[in-house]
Amino acid sequence: MSQKAYITPSVLKWARETARMTEETAAAKIPVPVEKLREWEAGSSQPTIKQAQILAKAYRRPFAIFFLPDIPLDFQPIQDFRRPGSKPLTTSSIFIIREIQQKQSWISDFFKENKEKKLSFVGKYSIKDDPQLVASDILNTLKVTPAKYDTDPIKEWIKTAELNGIFISRTSFIHSRLKIDPDELKGFAIADPYAPFVFINSDDWNAAQLFTLVHELAHIWIAKTGISNEIIPEKTAQFRIHPVEKFCNEVAANALMPKELFLDFDSKLFTDLKKTYQIAKQFGVSLLALLIRAHTLGILSDMEYQKFRIQAETEFRDYLKKEEEKKTKQRKKKNGPSYYLLQLNRNGRLFTQTVLDSFRGGLIEPTLASHLLNVQVNKFSKLESYLY
């Protein structure tokens, strides 16, 4: 007979609920009838050790946590700045937020213990400041020149952000069966003075990812940790945008599309969407973001903006259709990116390098390094090969 696991029922229930997992989904992981799972959570019966281990893995919690006498203190939910009525955060979003919180907490404590200096730009400004001033400071600090990129704009921004001590994570999945919906979670920032962290959902298209990244950097510059909204022009929104989101959108727009570069534009330019698209590509932004910026700066009237926006949205729907066809073909080929490259992007290059250096310097144990990077110790060399 299998050995019983005398877990704490309330902790088992807490683990499921904080994973945003229904009783039906959790029971199916084992599998057992839902009534059996309810018995375990009520304490009228106990799972076997193997069953409890399966649940620990499903909830992404250490197995030992089930045996604590009381519900443990957990990471506090980060503030949700998204618009009213946004999709509720589901299991995949909760898991990636928790994962980034764990990584960020470790690296921040590690830097404090090693007497690293605080980063001066974290919390340097507030939403009472001029968004253009904050945007200029971001550009000056990171040494980015908008519209004059040497490589892919988002890669350039990520590289320079990491060079300045900002940790960047990009992924769209927890595992193959648990994807992160970009309509649910586009990005979030943890504004810590020792180890600021930004997450970007890589399932979004590149131009949207770049705007999200710079938007999240604005969160760091004003020290506002939180989950971000989608790009919505305030004039056309059917609801009040959170002041922090409005401010960070303005900062991102000023940083990616500085006013002085728009002053010579003529509204007639926007009648040719192909030319307009080339300009948007040069700035690394979407056609819609470019139109919003031109409208905000008074280059486009309300009527012109609405007209061109409808055209741009039609073009964008066609683009999304083509992109989905590409993804479908890639899935059929089943030859996606390397596991190690995916983990490198998920952990971020700066975080990966910091953990590997600490491990090789004997500052952290192999088990911890493996847990932080989600890669077996004997495979570190393969992971490291993708760093270069």
Which pLDDT tens digit goes with each residue over 21-75? 999 999 999 999 999 999 999 999 999 999 999 999 999 998 889 998 898 887 7
Task: Please say if the pLDDT value at position 322 is more than 80.
Answer: no
Residues above pLDDT 70, as percent of the chain: 93
Could you give all domains of the chain from N- to C-terminal order, each with its CATH number?
9-67 (1.10.260.40), 91-256 (1.10.10.2910), 339-385 (no CATH)
Least confident of 158-162, 190-194, 214-218, 332-336: 332-336
State the pLDDT at residue 146: 93
In this prediction, residues 239-267 reach a mean pLDDT of 88
Coarse DSSP helix, strand, coil percentages of the chain, rounded to the nearest 5 percent: 55, 5, 35
> Mean pLDDT for the chain?
89
Q: What whole-number distance in Å separates Cα of residue 216 and Cα of residue 198?
A: 6
Task: Please say if the pLDDT value at position 135 is more than 90.
Answer: yes
Helices and strands (H, E) in the chain, number of each type? 17, 6
Q: Is the peptide bond before 84 cis (omega within 30 degrees of 0)?
A: no
Q: Where is pLDDT greater, at 223 or 85?
A: 223
Q: Which helix (H) or strand (E) holds 199?
A: strand 197-201
State the pLDDT at residue 75: 75
* 374 closest CA partner among 339, 334, 329: 339
Tokens of 155: 């890669």
Using only C-alpha atoms, the chain has a radius of gyration, in whole angstroms, of 23
- Chain centre distance of CA 127: 22
State the pLDDT at residue 327: 65
Least confident of 109-123, 148-162, 255-269, 374-388: 255-269
The neighbouring-strand residues paired with 201 are 171
State the pLDDT at residue 334: 58
- Length, in residues, of the chain: 388
The pTM for the full model equals 0.87
State the pLDDT at residue 256: 96
Provide CB contacts within 8 A for 155, sequence distance 6+: none
- pLDDT-derived band of residue 338, with 50, 70 and 90 as boundaries? confident
CB of 11 closer than 8 Å to CB of 39: no
- pLDDT-derived band of residue 239, with 50, 70 and 90 as boundaries? low
Task: Please say if the pLDDT value at position 329 is more than 70.
Answer: no
In this prediction, residues 169-183 reach a mean pLDDT of 87
Task: Please say if the pLDDT value at position 83 is more than 70.
Answer: yes
CB of 26 closer than 8 Å to CB of 37: yes
